[in-house]
A and B are shown apart, each in its own frame.
Chain A
Amino acid sequence: MDKIFDFILRAGKVDRRWIFLIIGLAVLLPLFFPLGLPIRATIATQKVYDAVEALEENSKVLLSFEYGPSTKPEIHPMAIGLLKHLFTNGHKVYVTCLWPDGQFMADEALTEVAEEEFNLTYGEDYVVLGFRPGNEAVVKGMVSNIRKLYTTDARGTLVDEIPLMKGINKVADFDFIFSASAGYPGTLEWVQYASDPTGVPLSTGTTSIMVNDIMPMVNSGQVQGILAGMPGAAEYEALIGSPGIGTSGMDAQSIAHLVIVLFIVFGNITYFIEVQRSKKY
C-alpha cells in the first residue's frame, strides 16, 4: 500500500508542463473525433427562447454587441443563433456596440446570417448604429435621446435617411433588448440604465465567468433568462434547431471538464496522504 502512496506522492510533484499537455490533448482530440453527445436545455436558456418567441410580429429589437475576439468562442454562437431566431420570426434588428471590437463581431454575424442566409436589405430589415465610447454614459444617452448620440450609422449614412430608424428616438421605442456581453460595460449597465428605468424587457447572453453576477437579476425577473457560456449557446442552437459552432465545441468541453475534475480529485488524494503522513511522523 505504501508503494502506491509513494507513487501518488511523486506524481503530485510532476512538472506542470505535463498537465498542460494532458489538458491540451483533452481539448484537441474531441475536435477531430466528435462524440455527438445529446444537449439538454436548462431553465435559464428556455426563458430566453420563450421571451423571444413571445414577441409579436415585426417588433423592434435592440441587439447590443459587447464582446471581442478573446470571448468570441462563447458568445458569437449566441449572436448568430439569436439573429436566426429573430429574422425567422420576422423582427427588425437594430445593432449597437459598447465595445469597439463589438462592431467587427456584429459585421461578421450579420454578413453570415442577414446577408448570406436570409438575404435581407440593410436599412429596411436591420441597421448597424455601431460603437460609441463612454460605457454606461452611452446607455444613459440612448435612453434619453438616441439621435443626439447616433447622428450617423456605422456606414456613415445620416440616421434621418434610414427608413428603419423612423419613429426611433429613444430606448423606450424598442420592444426588446438583448445584450451579448463579455464584461464591463455589458448586461449590468443595460439593466441599470435602460431596462429597469424604462421597463423594456431584456434578455442576455454572457461569458461563463459573468453569469453568476447576473443570476440574481434573472431570479428577480429583471432579466428574462440568460444564455450561460458555450453550453448556453449550444442549448439555444438546439432549441432553434440549427446546431452551429456552439454545439461542435461541446464534446471537447465535456472531456476537458472530466479531466479537470479528475485532476482535482487526484490532487486531493495526494493532499490526504500528505496530511495522514505528517500526522504519523
Chain B
Amino acid sequence: MLKDKEFWLVAGGLSLAFLLYWFAGYPLFKEERLVMFLVISIMTGNLIYYIRYARKGGEIFLRSIPGLKAVEEAVGRSTEMGKSVLYVPGIMDMDQVETVAGVIILGHVSKMTSRYETSLNVPVSRSIVMKAARETVREAYTMEGRPDLFQDDMVHYLTDDQFAYAAGVNGIMVREKPAACLYMGKFFAESLILAETGNSIGAIQIAGTASQSQIPFFVTACDYTLIGEEFFAASAYLSQTPELMGGLKGQDMMKAGVTAAILLSLFMRILFDLGLIKWNIISILTVQ
C-alpha cells in the first residue's frame, strides 16, 4: 500500500519544515487553530496520495451498489416488454456535480440499451446538458459497435423551466409508457410530479441524487434509490477516471478516520471525567 516513495519524500520534507517553523516560534501563525491546520494537512495528503495511487493504475475495490444492479434489471425488463427506457438527468446544468454524475451513468445505461437494442429517450432541460449527453450516448453506442442505432433526437431539449419540464416529461411518460424510468441528477420539487406519474404507468423507477430534500420522496416513490454518496460512488466507479476513484477511496479513509476519532474522543472524555488525564478533548476540538 505505501509504495509511493516520491509522495512520502515530499510529505516528510514538508512536515520537517513545519516542525522547524514551529520550534522557530511559528511567527504569523494563529496558534489556536493548530488542530485545524494539522487535520487539513493530513486529509489533503490522504486525498493526494490516493489520487496518485489511482493515476498509477492502482486497483481500487468498490462494494456492489444494489441500485446499479437494479438498473441492469430494469433495462432487461424494458427489452423483454419491447418498451423504451426513459432517462432524466436532473434539471440543473453541467456546473452541478450531480448533473455530471447523471451524464456519466447515462453513458453506462446507453451501453446496455445499445447491446439489447432497447429504445432510449432522454429529455433534458439545459442546452449544454443536451450537447454533453448526446456526446456520451453516441460514444457509448459506437464503443458497443452499434453506431447505426444511435439517432440525435434520442437526447432532446424540452425547456429550461422547472414545472414546464416536469409537465413535458409527464406527457412523454403517459404517451410512450416506458417500462423503466431513471432519474439521475439534481432535483427539486418537480421530483414528486415525475415519480408520481411514473408510478401511475407502472414503470420500474430508479433514482439517484444527492439533493437532501428530495431523497425521502424518491425512496418512497421509486423501487431503488442511490442515496447521496452512493450516487457519486456509482458515477465514479462507472467513469473509471483516476481523480474520481482516488477521491472516493480518499474519502472512505477519511470516514474511517472520523469514526476512529469519535470513539477515541469519547474514550478520552471518559478518562478526563474520571480525572485520569488532564487534556480536555472538548476544548481541543473547539477551534476558534
Contacts and interface: CB of A to CB of B under 8 A. Distances in A.
- Whether A and B touch directly in their complex, counting CB atoms under 8 A apart, is answered as yes
Contacts, number: 11
A199 B288 CA distance: 7
B288 A198 contact: yes
Contact of A209 (B196, B200, B213, B287): B213
A219 B287 CA distance: 18
Interface in A187-222: 196-199, 209, 212-213
A213 B212 contact: yes
Chain B residues touching A, range = under 10
Contacts of B200: 13
Nearest to A199: B288
Nearest to A198: B288
Interface in B205-241: 212-213
Contacts of A197: 287-288
B213 A196 contact: no
A11 to B, nearest CB: 14
B95 to A, nearest CB: 15
Interface in A203-246: 209, 212-213
Consensus secondary structure, chain A interface: helix
Nearest to B213: A209
A196 B212 contact: no
A197 B286 CA distance: 9
Nearest to A195: B288
A152 B230 CA distance: 48
Nearest to A183: B213
B216 to A, nearest CB: 10
Interface in A1-50: 13, 16
Contacts of A196: 287-288
Nearest to A271: B199
The winner among B196, B213, B287 for most chain A CB atoms within 10 A is B213
Nearest to A222: B286
Nearest to B197: A16
B255 to A, nearest CB: 16
Contacts of A16: 196
Contacts of A212: 212
A212 to B, nearest CB: 8
A262 to B, nearest CB: 16
Interface string B275-288: 00000000000011
Nearest to B216: A212
A228 to B, nearest CB: 14
Contacts of B213: 209
Contacts of B212: 212-213
A198 B33 CA distance: 12
A213 B196 CA distance: 26
A13 B200 CA distance: 8
A190 B138 CA distance: 46
Interface string B184-201: 000000000000100010
11 contacts: A13-B200, A16-B196, A196-B287, A196-B288, A197-B287, A197-B288, A198-B288, A199-B288, A209-B213, A212-B212, A213-B212
Given A209-B213, A212-B212, 6 more contacts: A13-B200, A196-B288, A197-B287, A198-B288, A199-B288, A213-B212
The 4 A-B pairs of least Cβ separation, nearest first, read A209-B213, A199-B288, A197-B288, A213-B212
